Amino acid sequence: MTIREDIIERAHGERGIYGVVDKEPSCLVIPLETTAEGEFLYLVSQFRYTVGKRLMEFPQGTWEGSDADPITVARGELREETGLRADRMTPLASLQIAYGVLNQVQHIYLAEGLTPGEHARDPEESDLEVHRVPVSEFETMLLDGRVVDNCSAAAWGVYQLWRDRQKRG
């Protein structure tokens, strides 16, 4: 990660300073399990230092200093954080995160055909917990403030658009 202040010239000609954080690409995974009982999502919760709270979100992250392709990173993040392996990883979109300050792309994947296994968390993820929730509960969590991660909310919206287009053919 790098942090810099660029001297810029605004559209009206005035000079100023623009703060920019550059980070390597990241991946977010929507782990979707379909059973006879319904559809379930896997979320992770962990303490987020920047806001001083334990929050829930989809598994996501980056491999600093790695030139691995995004799908490898997505599979790795899913396994590391949840222990889940996916038979199918479908790329849904690539979005910019908070591009008013941050230069970081996030690749969004749908993970299906999930198989449980052992996780391999990094030391900073030692407090991470995995939660399996029905899709309807996740949507309620987005609306009632139990899930506030903008990346998870955006990814869910992208997934819904993708799903609706798949249904229409």
Checking if the pLDDT of 65 tops 80, the result is: no
Average pLDDT over residues 3-27: 89
Average pLDDT over residues 65-87: 92
Distance CA(28)–CA(105), nearest Å, equals 10
Structural domain that includes position 136? 2-168
Checking if the pLDDT of 23 tops 90, the result is: no
Instruction: Count how many domains the chain has.
Output: 1
Segment among 82-96, 112-126, 141-155 with least mean pLDDT: 112-126
Checking if the pLDDT of 125 tops 80, the result is: no
Segment among 30-44, 67-81, 121-135 with least mean pLDDT: 121-135
Non-local CB neighbours of 43 within 8 Å, separated by 6+ positions: 56, 57, 58, 130, 131, 133, 138, 147, 152
**For residue 74, what pLDDT is reported?**
96
Alpha-carbon distances of 18 from 26, 42, 145, rounded to whole Å: 23, 38, 31
Residue of higher predicted confidence among 121 and 110: 110
Checking if the pLDDT of 123 tops 90, the result is: no
Closest C-alpha to 83, from 141, 128, 149 = 128
CATH number for the domain including 156? 3.90.79.10
Closest C-alpha to 54, from 155, 162, 148 = 148
Segment among 15-29, 102-116, 154-168 with least mean pLDDT: 15-29
Segment 38-47, tens digit of pLDDT: 999 999 999 9
- Give the whole-number percent of the chain exceeding pLDDT 90: 71
Non-local CB neighbours of 32 within 8 Å, separated by 6+ positions: 39, 40, 41, 110, 111, 112, 114, 135
**For residue 127, what pLDDT is reported?**
86
